[in-house]
Every structure is written in C-alpha cells, then in structure tokens.
Amino acid sequence: MARKPADQTVSREEIIMAAAEVLRRNGYEATTMKDIAAEVNLTAASLYHHFRNKDALLLAVLEGGIEHVIQQLEPVALEEKPVVEKLKQMIAVHIVNLANNPAVGAAFVFEIRALMNMRIPPRNGGQFGQEDMDAFIEKRNKFFAQRDYFEKLFRDVIQEGIDRGVFRKVDVAIVTKALLGAHNWVGVWYRPDGRLSGQEIADIMADTFLRGLAL
C-alpha cells in the first residue's frame, strides 16, 4: 500500500507546528522523526518529502518563530513615541507571542544549542552535497543574526530611554539580558490553562521592570 486512503494531505506548516509541540515536550535530541510524524499521522519516511532532514526541520521551527516575533516587534521598536510606552508594548508583544505559542518559545530557550552544535554534514552523511551544507549554514547564520537583532531591539530602546533621561543609568547589556531571561522563562512555565493570560503576565512584568528602570 501507499498513502492513507481518505485522509487529508499534510502541509509544511502543519509539520513545523507539530514539530514545535513535540520538541517542547521532549527536546530536539530526544525527539524522533517518528514522534513528529505521529503528531500529524504520517510515517517518519514521509517527513523527508517535506524536509531534507531533522536538522532542517528544527531550523524551520526556529526560523518561523523569530521571523514572526521580529515582524511584530520591529515596527514598535522603530516607532517614534515615548520610550516608556514603546518598551511596555515591546514586552507585551514578546510575552503574548510566547504565551500564544509556548512550543516555539521553548524551542528558543532549549534548542538553540542543538542548532549551534549541529554537525554538518549530518551523522550518516547521506546524500548531502556541498551545496546543501552551504545552504544550511547560511540559513543558520541568518537565524543567529536575527536572534542578535532581536536582542538589539530591546537593548536600543533601553539605551534610548537612558539617553533621553527617562531611565536611570543602568548597565544596558545586563539589564537587557535580565529582561529577556525573564521573558524566555515564560515560554517554559506558561500553561494556556493557567491563572493569567499572556497580556496580564506581560502587564505585571512590564510594570515591575519599568519601575526598575525609572529614575
């Protein structure tokens, strides 16, 4: 036989979402292609029709996540408006994102290391050609650049606040790491059925953090 009779066909996007969810539960290394496939009612072999290999699938999860956040964050960060408002809104965007998709958020915290340490070419070599490797490495580097840019968006706004005399003179690098650490952790502990919504959590955190920055 081949192909399940009555069932729907599965899209690339659906696989990425499913992968994120399985990754959240088990982590990259502990997740098997079979696990991911099962989540969308496919066999492991079928996944290779959509992604070159497991690494490419992880990268796709992370890429999708960062692009989505940056796309929402950038306009706010670059807008001309009071820094306090701006930062408050950025915090909300980030945390609400994390709450809406904790799986992707958790991947950010947990799986970036897997991406860093990834052996290229992959373990068994496979039919990976030089071009495949180059393409993968380029995508990966782009991802890291976006991650750094994401952090920079926050850092720059905090710096702007200091320059404008709205925030006190803090160590911007450290304070930014502290803020993002608090955020990232949300992706780890947040549960959709919890007491508070993403927006409520964001408000509490923004409030506390902004008081910490106030003169």
Q: Which residues bind to DNA, rule: CB under 7 A?
A: 1-5, 7-11, 31-34, 37, 41-46, 48-50, 53-55, 122-124, 126-128
What's the number of CA atoms in the CB half-sphere (13 Å) around residue 23? 29
183 part of the interface to its own copies, by CB under 8 A: yes
Upper half-sphere CA count for residue 8 (Cβ side, 13 Å): 4
Positions in 141-170 near its own copies (CB under 8 A): 170
Interface residue with its own copies among 11, 13, 29, 199 (CB under 8 A) is: 29
Among its own copies, DNA, none, the one that 212 touches (CB under a kind-dependent 5 to 8 A) is its own copies
Q: Which is nearer to DNA, 44 or 112 (CB)?
A: 44
Binding-residue pattern over the window 82 to 111 for its own copies, x denoting contact by CB under 8 A: ---------------------------xx-
Q: In this structure, is the dihedral angle defined by the CA atoms of residues 198, 203, 204 and 209, taken in order, positive or negative?
A: positive
Token pair for 124: 């068994």
Q: Is 124 in the site for its own copies (CB under 8 A)?
A: no
Contact 55, 28 (CB under 8 A): no
CA-CA distance, 144 to 138, in Å (whole number)?
10
Instruction: Give the amino acid at 197.
Output: S
Residue 64 contact among its own copies, DNA, none, beta carbon within 5 to 8 Å by kind = none
78 sits near its own copies (criterion: CB under 8 A): no
CB neighbour list of residue 181: distance below 8 Å, 6 or more residues apart: none
**82 vs 126, beta carbon nearer DNA:** 126
- Residue 185 binds which of DNA, its own copies, none (CB < 5-8 A, kind-dependent): its own copies
Find, among 139, 179, 135, the residue nearest to 156 by Cα: 179
- Cα angle value 19/21/186 (rounded, 5°): 130
CA atoms within 13 A on the CB side of 17: 8
CA 174 to chain centre: 21
Q: Is 209 in the site for its own copies (CB under 8 A)?
A: yes
> Least distance to DNA from the beta carbon of 68, Å?
22
When the beta carbons of 35 and 74 are compared against its own copies, the nearer one is 35
Binding site for its own copies (CB under 8 A): 25-30, 109-110, 113-114, 117, 170-171, 173-175, 177-186, 188-189, 195-196, 201, 204-205, 207-214
